[in-house]
Structure formats: structure tokens, C-alpha cells
Amino acid sequence: KLSERLEMIASLVTTGARVADIGSDHALLPVFLVLSEKCPSAIAGELNLGPFEAASKQVKEAQLSDRIDVRRGNGMAVLSPGDADTVTIAGMGGQLIATILEEGRAQGKLEGVKELVLQPNVGEDTVRYWLSDNHWLLVEERILEEDGKIYEVLRAVRAEAGRAEEQIAAIYDPALLPIEVEADVAVGLLYRFGPWLIQQPSEVLVRKWESEWRKLDRICAQMEQSDNSDARIKAMEFRKDMKRMEEVL
Ligand code: SAM
């Protein structure tokens, strides 16, 4: 049985898309997508030998070798133009996901790709900034908790040519926040919390940020005891940030 996390990722993939799952590990996501007939074919990309072999074995055992291509290489280097409609990247830090996307973009590997479904384990804001900077529109977000861990899943499609700035501004609209702050502060908060997630804050979202708040609180408490005045000033900034988090949620 697939984890709820992978099921959630699969649910955001457009039916009929040819998928490339980058960093596929055991290729569980592509196998599920093809077996469930949601996707006609898939590519499983893996950098490391162990997971690459595990993916190959999984695909062979599922008798899907004719429909899932397991390829070994760094990020999107395994793709040729036109190979995939949807790229999924899941279970890594947001920074690594952004790096894989950026290298792929620079190599022209995103040409022809219509949809990105991304599940960063941490650093979701880094992924959201990469999307906007590269004219991808964040159109859906999900959050779920499984085995005590909280996961966010993001789906993005390309902005319309010539309208990207306008479309992105509509998604990260300061008016979406229930508090009155300067526009740039509001936009920063939307990138952190997720512009869709924050519109209907679920119990899980609140729990996630309460736990982040407690972490910051512990760090601040230490910094406030410090002999270093820079640390004490930084703690004041953190406290201000925490106050805003409280207001938003
Ligand atoms: N995507 C799967 C999931 O969500 O369950 C597997 C996540 S696993 C924690 C991350 C996988 O990404 C590992 O198998 C690792 O070998 C692979 N990986 C890390 N960096 C990579 C890169 N630059 N290109 C391709 N695969 C990479």
C-alpha cells in the first residue's frame, strides 16, 4: 500500500500525463501512477546506484518495464526534450528541489513540461520563490500529517506568456492575510505559509506553525540570555516575526 504522502502527490498529477519522477528511490510513485492507469507511462530518475537498482527491480517485478523507464543520472539530466508532461520531485529539502529545477531549466529540460508536483520536506518557501522567479504559477497546495511528520505538496503550471507578473501577484496578494502589515512583509509571509494553505488554515497547518513557533521561542530564549548584543537584537527580530505568525494563524 502506498503512503498517504505519495497518494496525495499522485492525486495532484493530471490524469493522462507522462510523468518523470526525479529522485524516485524505489519508483513507488511512478509504479502507482501507471498501475492505477492514471498515467500511460513514466520515467523514474535516480542519482544513486542503490535506489536506482531498487527502482529497476520494483519496475521489473511490477512487469511495467515497457511503460516505466528507469534512468540513472543527476536531476533532470536524465530527460530529453518532450519526454514528460509532468515532473514530480518529492521527499527532499526545498533547496535541493530548487537546485534540481534550476539546473534542469538551464539545461532546457523543462521545455515541454506543463506541470510540476513538488513535495519539499523543509524549505517550502524556497520552492515557492523558485516557481515565481521562473514564471510558474502555484495553483494548488495540500498539507497532511503521516506518522508524526507534516508534509506539503505543491502543484504548479506555467504562467501565460506576458501575464506572469500579474498572475503571480494575484496568487501572493497581501489582502489574503487577515492582518495589516506592509505589503512586502505580507508577501513574505504568504511565501512562507503557502498562499492557498493560509486561506483555509487546517488543523495540521496550525500545528506545523505552532511547532515552528515553539522552536523559535526556545532559540530566542537562549539568545536573550546571551552576552552578545547582536544575538539579543536578533532575538528581538525573531520575536517580532513570531508575533506576526501568531496573528496570521
Ligand atoms: N521521491 C521519493 C519519495 O518521495 O518517496 C524518494 C525520496 S528519497 C528521500 C530522495 C531520493 O532522491 C533518494 O533516492 C536520492 O538518491 C535521490 N536524489 C537525491 N539527489 C538527487 C539528484 N540530484 N538527482 C536524482 N536523484 C536524487
DSSP structural state of residue 159: P
Inter-helix orientation angle 28-35/49-61, to 10°: 20
Closest CA relative to residue 143, chosen from 209, 99, 97, 92: 209
pLDDT at 249: 83
Counting atoms of ligand 1 from 1, which one is nearest the CA of 25? 14
pLDDT at 27: 98
In degrees rounded to 5, what are phi and psi of residue 202? Answer: -80, 170
pTM: 0.95
Q: Which residue has its alpha carbon closest to ligand 1 atom 15?
A: 23
pLDDT at 203: 94
pLDDT at 65: 98
HSE-up of residue 192 (Cα within 13 Å, Cβ side): 17
pLDDT at 115: 98
Cα distance between residue 163 and residue 137, in whole Å? 11
Interface predicted TM-score of the whole assembly (ipTM), two decimals = 0.99
pLDDT at 202: 92
Counting atoms of ligand 1 from 1, which one is nearest the CA of 24? 1
Answer yes or no: are the C-beta atoms of 9 and 119 closer than 8 Å: yes
pLDDT at 181: 86
C-alpha cell at 233: 537584537
DSSP structural state of residue 78: G
Size (the chain), residues: 249
Answer yes or no: are the C-beta atoms of 46 and 69 closer than 8 Å: no
pLDDT at 180: 84
CB 156 less than 6 A from any atom of ligand 1 = no
CB 92 less than 6 A from any atom of ligand 1 = yes
pLDDT at 70: 98
From residue 235, how far is each of 182, 186, 188, 204 by CA, in Å? 21, 21, 19, 27
- Listed as ranges, residues in the chain with pLDDT below 70 are none
C-alpha cell at 162: 506576458
pLDDT at 119: 98
